[in-house]
Amino acid sequence: MPLLADVAVPVPLSRAFTYEVPAAIAAQVKPGSRVVCGFGSRRLVGVVLGVTERPLPGGSIKIKPITAVIDPEPVLPEELLSFLVQLGLYYFAPIGEVLRLALPAMEREQVRALGKQGALGGDVKQVGGRKVAFARPTDALEAAGSLRGQAAAILGLLRASGEQPLARLEERFGNARNAVKRLAALGLAVIEMREPPRDPFFAVTEKRDMPPELNEAQARAAGRIEAALNEGSHRAFLLFGVTGSGKTEVYLRAIAACLAKGRGALVMVPEIALTPQVVARFRARFGDDLAVVHSGLADADRHAMWTRLRRGEVRVAIGARSALFAPVPNLGLILVDEEHDGSFKQEEGVRYHARDMALLRGFRAGAVVVLGSATPSMESVGLARKGKIEELDLPDRAVVVATLPKVTIIDIKRIGAGPTGNKLISLPLHRAIDETLAKGEQTILFLNRRGFAPSVVCDACGAVETCRDCSVALTYHRARGGRLRCHYCDYEGPLPPVCTGCKAAALTLEGLGTEKLEATIAEAFPRARVARLDRDVAGGEKSEVILERMRGGEIDILVGTQMVAKGHDLPMVTLVGVVNADASLSLPDFRAAERGFQLLVQVAGRAGRHDRPGRVLIQTRAPEHPAIQFATRHDVRGFLARELLDRQEVGYPPFSRLALVRIDAPDEETARVAAARLAAVARATPDALGRRVEVLGPAPAPIARLRGRFRFRVLLRAKERGPLRAVVERVAAAREELDRQVRAAIDIDPVSML
């Protein structure tokens, strides 16, 4: 019987395709290998899912052969490959697109060699260019007294360091090249040509630290995790600790225990901005035997990290959401820091949730999973209540003299503006900033709105300037001469001289954004050093530069969006001002209260983390809102208990399962008809007719138009996963028959409802 391979190719289709395996390459075609295969008139790079001997399918179907194998060894290890297949099934995502999430870029030499056989189709990422010589020692031993001088010194250095670039050896030893060639001839060293490492996270030497003594709660949590690692089977924990309780130290102890067992560890953080801080802590403990993986790295850096992991040269990977797919060898531990954070959900393409999939990967790999947060997600709390994950508590701050900050509510309906005249910089907040500056301490002002003015309004007719492609208000940014920008589609244009509706010259700037807040604070406190941290000024690596200036005492007042709220340890910050707490509490989303509460607690946790007492001022027009009241008392458990009751009453997660079908098209009526058709298909299924699945909609999305496309949605809700999946399968099949202009995306366990 012929040998056939099931191959996933990078096309938007859910199934794999069958190819014949020629006898000449049969030994190289293995699950996880990249291969070249014909697909229509194109040649694509696919991934082998499985190889079996079986009869050819009957009928007129002609099976094409695999034309080439790219890698001598599978690029995806068995554990990672099987996990990716399961992820694709769970999210109803095309398997080829799922596998692309984990595939490394191809070497340019590989692409050139394959290109000689015909052009490759699809988006093939390539790395490679200038290569440098590296020398590394072998396991061979020299005869006694056979080596002297530089050859002996270089061999000793290589054995101590593992490997060195030849150029670096030449800087230290004048005749290094000849000495290394002699070592290679004797079988004592190997010379390899490789791309030079360019990773920015390892540019500065990090001083090694000494593990501090754990407090009782930390020791208890670390001991429980270590015991689970010793058991060698899958366990999951929720590490529930107040801000500043020392969760990172528990993570470090867990990794040390994992490495001692000969297994690898994966650490995920929600933001790229947090990665440098986390990497520095981990390098101080474990040295440079780490791989940093996230989407912000250049392809060459990412490929170098992937290669070191795949070869087993390093066993710890750290990164943001995409680090979930790192090929960590013999995976034994997965840590998800700030597990509640919404950025762990991918909102485009394959809509996976990295926290949920960390639990799945840990289960399949027999690894221990730790979810850490000061404000756990309702989903994780629900799992803990059901006994599916074990809760570990850190009730106190790790620094003995550090206490949780005092929180004061400022009702801006009743309390007037300070000297700036802006009501969102109230008199109590102005005075508190003044007092903090006088003490030589630092302030964080949190406002979750970028730009100078969130909206531009016509005083004559009341119209708001909106994006031409999205049904959202344009934000005025004063930088670069004053521009209007859409924060959804990135449209940018000049501020018009007159209203686009009534043509009156009566446009005014309304509201307060971080850009205007920074300018207002700098004017009000001329001697203070004021800086801003948001995505307009601090994308990628730039955020760490600002945070380093803050840690070094070069900034007195830091103005920022939620980027300032996440995990930063800033010892001199004693005042946090929440400029407008209502902004995140008024969104049309059942998670609005949860997200608002989490932000308040997280940003408040930046104050008073060391030996100086902190205070927090929360400005609001709704001081009685439960999220604000519970945040004022640092009562996370109280808020969770109330929110669980509210969710149970209305039947939302964690008491139900959701699937959101998102439909969009350039024409509004086309989108409306498609949404109605998919809703009708869902309602006609046995599970919907039997009321095991509730079908809500179709309805226009809260943001009805985005990037020039009209948006509708259908929400499917059920108490059990099985019935929900049965309905989604029918909807997924029906969307293949829609108008070609229509896009219908299925979002399992949606996070954003907008």
Query: Which pLDDT score is estimated for 585?
Result: 86
Q: What's the confidence (pLDDT) of residue 168?
A: 75
User: Position of tokens 């406190």?
Assistant: 525
The domain made up of 216-394 has a fold known as Rossmann fold (3.40.50)
* 357/248 Cα distance (integer angstroms): 21
* CATH code reported for the domain at 3-126: 3.40.1440.60
CB 442 within 8 Å of CB 596: no
Q: In this predicted model, what pLDDT tens digit does every residue of 260-306 receive, in sequence order?
A: 999 999 999 987 655 667 788 888 888 878 888 876 666 777 778 88
Q: Which residues, at least 6 apart from 694, have a Cβ–Cβ distance to it below 8 Å?
A: 688, 716, 717, 718
Residue range 92-128, pLDDT digits in tens:
999 999 998 898 877 666 666 665 554 555 555 555 5
| Token pair recorded at residue 503 | 């043509």
> Fold match between 3-126 and 216-394?
no
Q: Shortest CA distance to 576 belongs to which of 431, 719, 444, 407?
A: 444
For residue 426, give the DSSP letter: B
- For 430-442, what is the mean pLDDT? 94
Residue corresponding to tokens 């994780």: 380
What are the residue ranges spanned by the domains of the chain?
3-126, 132-194, 216-394, 402-449+517-652, 451-511, 657-748
Burial zone of 130 (CB within 10 Å; 0-12 exposed, 13-18 middle, 19+ buried): exposed
Q: What is the pLDDT of residue 149?
A: 81
Q: When comparing pLDDT for 172 and 37, which is higher?
A: 37
- Select the CATH number that applies to the domain covering 402-449+517-652 from these four: 3.40.800.20, 3.40.50.720, 3.40.50.1820, 3.40.50.300: 3.40.50.300
Determine the distance from the C-alpha atom of residue 6 to the mean position of all C-alpha atoms in its chain, rounded to a whole number: 31
Q: Strand, helix or coil at 59?
A: coil
Give me the phi and psi of 110, to 5 degrees please.
-65, -45
Separation CA 64–CA 68 (nearest Å): 12
Provide CB contacts within 8 A for 369, sequence distance 6+. Answer: 234, 235, 236, 237, 333, 334, 335, 336, 358, 359, 362, 363, 389
> pLDDT value at position 536?
80
pLDDT in tens, 193-246: 866 555 555 656 667 788 889 999 999 999 999 999 999 889 999 999 988 888
| Spatial CA neighbour of 675 closest among 707, 705, 715, 708 | 715
Question: What pLDDT shows up at residue 197?
Answer: 53
Q: What is the pTM of this model?
A: 0.84
Domain 132-194 has CATH 3.40.50: no
Q: What is the mean pLDDT of residues 434-462?
A: 92
Topology of the domain comprising 657-748: Alpha-Beta Plaits (3.30.70)
pLDDT tens-digit profile of 483-530? Answer: 899 988 888 889 999 999 899 999 999 889 999 999 999 999 999 999
Lowest mean pLDDT among 3-7, 354-358, 386-390, 549-553: 549-553
Whether the CA torsion 642, 644, 645, 647 is positive or negative: it is: positive
Burial class (CB in 10 A: 0-12, 13-18, 19+), 155: buried
Q: For the segment 630-666, what is each residue's pLDDT rounded down to a tens digit?
A: 999 989 999 999 999 999 999 999 999 999 999 999 9
Residues present in the chain in total? 754
Q: In what side-by-side order are the strands of the sheet with 657-665?
A: 693-706, 709-718, 657-665, 743-748
| Residues of the chain above pLDDT 70, percent | 91
